């Protein structure tokens, strides 16, 4: 769509002027300007989902999700105050205790967006009581494993499988705390589904829930994507093939 210069607008983001075009969200405009707002369920290749709430920003005294809130002329967006970072930390702490995120034993450590965003917000401890849910690891597929312990229900694999791969391998079942990822196959196992290593869904997980087999620890811990630079500078792990 051709957009005339006169239809552009701008808003203030942590004191910086950010241009936007009609239809862009706050997240769209900020990322396009080379700035950063933490996010987990958002991926610029997919329609906004608005479920993780880690992208919370302050606008006019309210807290809104930057990935779904439309950019508007003259708005003042706060993404760095202690209040906003504190809200994000609380959301992240809940995500950490709802699953079993054993970072030192995870192949994705150092290239995991959940871990990297936690560092970005200054989260040092989970604060809440761990749920320690009993969840499985599904190693039935020849090329990929899925570790349900690490799933944060961002639904990126659900959207990728449905919208890019045309397969609907993944879905979400249950409500609230009982929500969980399910696989569409006769047995419910990944190996009995139509999932393939070449699927878009195989390469969008922001955490260590969907991982390739046969290539563990190729990059030493300490030299991985977010070990080298903070997520605010390098962005999404899915955009870095060799992360
Ligand atoms: Fe998101 Fe990964 Fe869970 Fe799929 S497996 S919902 S991509 S965290
Ligand atoms: Fe905006 Fe998840 S990134 S709600």
pLDDT in the model for residue 7: 74
For ligand 1, atom 3, the nearest C-alpha belongs to 151
**134 sits in which H/E element:** none
Instruction: Kindly write down the DSSP assignment for every residue of 175-198, as one continuous string.
Output: SGGG-EEEE-SSSS-GGGSS--TT
For ligand 1, atom 7, the nearest C-alpha belongs to 205
Q: Cα(56) to centroid of ligand 2, in Å?
A: 8
Give Cα separations from 191 to 40, 47, 116 (angstroms): 27, 28, 30
pLDDT in the model for residue 99: 95
Locate the ligand 2 atom nearest the alpha carbon of residue 38 and give its number: 3
Yes or no: domain 9-134 corresponds to CATH 3.50.50.60: no
Give Cα separations from 115 to 12, 30, 131 (angstroms): 28, 22, 18
32-66 per-position pLDDT tens digit: 999 999 999 999 999 999 999 999 999 999 999 99
Task: Report strand pairing: 76-78 vs 9-13.
Answer: parallel
Cβ of 154 less than 6 Å from ligand 2: no
147-201 per-position pLDDT tens digit: 999 999 999 999 999 999 999 999 999 998 889 999 999 999 999 999 999 999 9
Domain 136-214 carries which CATH code? 3.30.70.20
Residue 42's nearest CA partner among 30, 53, 58 is 53
109-154 per-position pLDDT tens digit: 999 999 999 999 999 999 999 999 999 999 999 999 999 999 999 9
63-118 per-position pLDDT tens digit: 999 999 999 999 999 999 999 999 999 999 999 999 999 999 999 999 999 999 99
Locate the ligand 1 atom nearest the alpha carbon of residue 152 and give its number: 8
Locate the ligand 2 atom nearest the alpha carbon of residue 56 and give its number: 1
Task: Report strand pairing: 62-65 vs 9-13.
Answer: unpaired
Cβ of 41 less than 6 Å from ligand 2: yes
Strand partners, 13: 16, 77
Give Cα separations from 3 to 6, 21, 22, 24, 71 (angstroms): 8, 7, 8, 12, 15
| Measured distance CA(191)–CA(185) in Å, rounded | 8
* Domain extents in the chain: 9-134, 136-214
Residue whose entry in the numeric block shows the structure tokens 């936007």: 20
| Measured distance CA(63)–CA(57) in Å, rounded | 6
């Amino acid at each position: 769509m051709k957009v005339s210069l006169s239809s552009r607008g701008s808003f203030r983001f942590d004191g910086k002027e950010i241009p936007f075009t009609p239809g862009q969200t706050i997240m769209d405009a900020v990322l396009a300007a080379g700035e950063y707002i933490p996010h987990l369920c958002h991926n610029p290749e997919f329609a906004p989902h608005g479920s993780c709430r880690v992208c919370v920003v302050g606008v006019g005294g309210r807290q809104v999700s930057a990935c779904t809130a439309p950019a508007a002329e003259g708005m003042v967006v706060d993404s760095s105050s202690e209040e906003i970072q504190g809200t994000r930390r609380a959301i992240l702490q809940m995500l950490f205790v709802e699953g079993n995120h054993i970072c030192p034993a995870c192949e994705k450590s150092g290239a995991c967006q959940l871990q990297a965003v936690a560092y970005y917000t200054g989260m040092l401890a989970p604060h809440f009581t761990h749920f320690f849910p009993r969840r499985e690891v599904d190693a039935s597929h020849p090329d990929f494993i899925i570790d349900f312990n690490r799933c944060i229900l961002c639904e990126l694999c659900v959207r990728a499988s449905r919208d890019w791969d045309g397969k609907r391998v993944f879905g979400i079942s249950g409500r609230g705390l009982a929500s969980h990822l399910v696989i569409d196959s006769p047995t419910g196992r990944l190996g009995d589904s139509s999932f393939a290593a070449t699927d878009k869904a195989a390469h969008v997980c922001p955490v260590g829930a969907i991982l390739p087999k046969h290539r563990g620890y190729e990059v030493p811990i300490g030299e991985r994507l977010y070990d080298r630079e903070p997520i605010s500078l390098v962005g999404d792990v899915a955009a870095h093939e060799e992360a």
